[in-house]
A = this chain, B = another copy of it.
Amino acid sequence: MLGIGHHTKIGLHLEKTPLALKLGAFVALSRTEMSVLDALHKRRRTFIAGCDLVRQGQSNQSAYILMSGWACSYKLLQDGQRQIVDFQIPGDFLGLRSVLLHMSDHSIEPITDIEVTEVTVTDLLEAFSQTPRLATAVFWAASRDEAMVVEHLIDIGRRNAAERMAHFLLELGARLALVGLGSKAGFACPLSQYLLADALGLSAVHVNRVLRTLREAGMATFRDGLVTFDSYRRLTEFADFDPTYLDQIGPILR
């Protein structure tokens, strides 16, 4: 497994939120920084699956930190099709850009029931001014998310359906591993084949066929909400997956 273990000492009596786990992979956080981060998690709220958190065109939203459950951000086209831009997993921000732009260019929907903590811009900026290194870490995480969208673009633009699916599952697995929710063996995944289709620019029917192909090739199995990497090595080769930027062993910045 990945060496996230050795940071656990730092936050001895602070709760390890998913966000703290994730940021800890980028920047070695001090006790103070941990507690500032922890103080952000005040206003806890829950949303139920399927009911939009943020709607395209809305303005003046709050931002949220996802504590548990999955969400997705998507855009609708006039003809009713939709494209899922990204999935959010625990430790991810929801609507951070929307807040800063005072306008949301996409909608966000909880896929499962989710727990979040609400964060206002002022809270966030104050936290940043207290601990600049925290700001760096958050910025870093945001950049990584952007890199993920770019990789997603390449998935859709230049990979065929099977490679696309393989790459997508690997990336998701790596992200989940970072917050302790997955490994090279696999991960729990609440996504329906319809959601996968909307994310990968495929039809749901074809998603099904592609999953069968991967299963029969002995590379990956997706059944009963569980993704299993039957052969992690062959899957990465097949998908041309480059895990370097996700394979952080320890923090980049000390």
Contact = CB atoms under 8 A, between A and B. Distances in A.
Interface of A: 75, 77-79, 81-83, 85, 97, 100-103, 105-106, 139-140, 143-144, 146-147, 149-150, 152-154, 156-159, 200-201, 240, 245, 252
A101 B27 CA distance: 12
Q: How many identical subunits does the complex contain? A: 2
Interface of A is mostly: helix
B240 A154 contact: no
A152 B156 CA distance: 11
A153 B240 CA distance: 20
A146 B146 contact: yes
Given A146-B146, A147-B105, A245-B105, A154 B100 contact: no
Contacts of A75: 150, 154
A97 B149 CA distance: 14
Contact of A83 (B79, B147, B153, B252): B153
A157 B153 CA distance: 8
A144 B157 CA distance: 21
A105 B159 CA distance: 18
Given A100-B139, A149-B149, A154 B77 contact: yes
A150 B105 contact: yes
Chain B CB count within 10 A is highest, among A143, A158, A201, for A158
20 contacts: A75-B154, A77-B154, A77-B158, A77-B159, A77-B240, A78-B240, A81-B158, A83-B158, A97-B146, A101-B140, A101-B143, A101-B144, A101-B147, A103-B245, A146-B149, A149-B153, A153-B153, A153-B156, A157-B201, A158-B201
